[in-house]
Each structure stands twice: as C-alpha cells, then as structure tokens.
Amino acid sequence: NAGVTQTPKFRILKIGQSMTLQCAQDMNHNYMYWYRQDPGMGLKLIYYSVGAGITDKGEVPNGYNVSRSTTEDFPLRLELAAPSQTSVYFCASSYSRDQEQYFGPGTRLTVT
C-alpha cells in the first residue's frame, strides 16, 4: 500500500493565482482531512470529509475549498492565493473518527 500520497511536494504561487493540492489514499478509509502547519505551530484543520460526497469546515477554512467525489481522493483548492496561505499542507486519513490518522508527506507552498 502507498498509504496517503500528496502532490506536488513543493509549489511557489504568485498572489492571486489558483491551484489544487492533490491527496489520495489506498487504505479504503472513510475519513480524510486537510491540515496546515505553520513554523513552530501545531496542525490546524482546514476541511475534513467523512465519506464520498460529504465535507465540512474545520478551524481555518477561509480561502480554501474541497470536494470528495470518491473514497480515495480529497483535493484541496486554493482560489486566490494570498501570502497568509504560505504553509506546509498535510493530508491525512483514518478508518473512523476516533482512530489514528495516517498522514501524507506534505506539500510546501509559498505564495509571493
């Protein structure tokens, strides 16, 4: 199993540009999550999904959108990139709500 995969690994965006961060898991997990991690800080939940077709906002959803059309994929969309969105983004999945989460390797995004 590949586990949780994320692409790209690194990306530099100009202010106002858009992009999609890809996340996929091959563990047949129902729950998927997007977090951002700023230097020296903990993980902040952006959006999560409890199954295909169902998504909900986390702690810091502004400036982001998600979709979950399949169990495997959970892309994160940035519509109008801002410098405040410079961060490392992690995707994670879990079989159920109260079980351990499996994290991807992260995407390091810089907005200039």
Q: Does 30 bind other proteins (CB under 8 A)?
A: no
Residues numbered 67 to 106 that lie near other proteins (CB under 8 A) are 90, 92, 97-106
Secondary structure of residue 93 in the 3-state scheme: strand
| Strands annotated E in 52-103 | 54-57, 64-66, 76-78, 87-94, 102-103
Q: Which of 8, 15, 54, 56 binds other proteins (CB under 8 A)?
A: 56
Q: Does 61 bind other proteins (CB under 8 A)?
A: no
Nearer to other proteins, 86 or 101 (CB): 101
Quick one: CA dihedral 108, 85, 82, 20, positive or negative? Answer: positive
In angstroms, give the least distance from the CB of 78 to other proteins: 19
